[in-house]
Structure 1
């Protein structure tokens, strides 16, 4: 997992309340070889017209959208199935952070375990940000995980990023759960040795 400390980027607003994981990546693609990149499947069906061609009006198909590392999405983003491929598609497309009023629980956990920072902000703030981006498409947002703040453009201010401490530490260091556990091996080994001294029959 790639470490996340701070990211400043333009933002693409992808509208759609209750955007589920099948919209983020349709189920028929989740057995594809990850080595070839899941970014090609991101929002595959909803960003195309009836003939399969890219819809120029879809936010991520507009010129310059590929530079954005942050997406603004709507309420309950990532609901539906537990497929981790939805997060893989975002990661492979270069997305480092998501801003929304709320996320699907399993999707949110998958995002954290893959180094994507889910930022929950009040609905009114998200709506104000969407309005600002419509008028200022090049506006930038800074997601500073080290400082625990997201800084929005214009007069929208800074807001706290609320993430579980363990998940935050893992993302800051770029470590998954197992890799983080291995950083405590000296303490684990010392505990096991002391435990066997106190209760030697455990070694039998």
Structure 2
């Protein structure tokens, strides 16, 4: 039972090769991605060389040049000292990171209606507040790291346009689900 989504930030790209303004700038960059068929397909389609790697290995992989860059919310860059081993941070907003507030169906059904209503209300309130909290945190982090890395604004429309073909790739569709993809495309006005 999904009650709400908690916003934890837009994912950005950091690397040691060059600023990323458009997907063309990703060509040839070895980019650490989570082991996810969808994420690998996205970055392969955008022109990067997606390299699945566990998060625990990421700092040393960046430090040793095993990968050129990574993609995470900006506070992850700061909290994990990736800013110490990366030259460029590009604001691509290519994926929104969300956590789900969930219950198992059986547990949810065991609660009386008034408890369900209170939990749903609290979850939605926390989810709404998470947007402002995360945006404030991101602004603080950008201010804190601006002397450590070169920060640039990417051309978001070029990323949106370049990402559209991914919605037809079998690996992506199979890992995300056709119904969810259709819902997203309708929401984005792309279908």
> Which gives a bigger RCO, structure 1 or 2 (Cα 8 Å, sep 6+)?
2
Which structure dedicates a bigger proportion of its chain to helix? 2
TM-score (structure 2 length as normaliser): 0.27
Larger Rg: 1
